[in-house]
Amino acid sequence: MAIFNSANPMFASGASNDVYSTEETRIGTWVDGKPLYRKVFVGGFAGVNVDSPIGPETPDVEVVTYLSAVALFSNGSWTLLPYSVGTEYAVCQFNTADNKIHLRASNAVFVGHDVYVVMHYTKTTDQATGGLPE
């Protein structure tokens, strides 16, 4: 299990006890009363214009409530995804077909460098305890 704590500015949310892990962690309750989970995925872009699935499968995802990624450029700078300048792009998505995070970039400056993805989500296996707000 990899653990990241909020001392790292990439993952800081303001609370000193936040722990970010590659294992599923319950972090709260969603608006419908279902448990809300967080998971960190670590990977990289496999190539230019190549679909790059990263991390393990995350089954039973119902609603992705938050998806944030940071990627390292070849010049050592970190950037948030999605990234888009002119015709260049880098994106991160959760694909429900295989229950994995997928990365794609149009520029080699991303290839071979770290990407950290934080996802918050609810699961189909949990029961809602309340209705959605009207």
Give 10-residue mean pLDDT values along the chain (134 residues).
44 58 93 94 94 91 96 88 93 94 93 93 92 66
Report how far residue 46's alpha carbon sits from residue 67's, in angstroms, rounded to the nearest whole number: 20
Residue with tokens 């002119």: 86
Model pLDDT, residue 100:
94
Report how far residue 55's alpha carbon sits from residue 101's, in angstroms, rounded to the nearest whole number: 7
Model pLDDT, residue 74:
82
Please enumerate, as own/partner, the contacts of 123-126 that have beta carbons within 8 Å and a separation of 24 or more.
123/34, 123/35, 123/37, 123/60, 123/61, 123/62, 124/60, 124/61, 124/62, 125/60, 126/34, 126/35
Q: Could you say which DSSP state residue 84 is in?
A: E
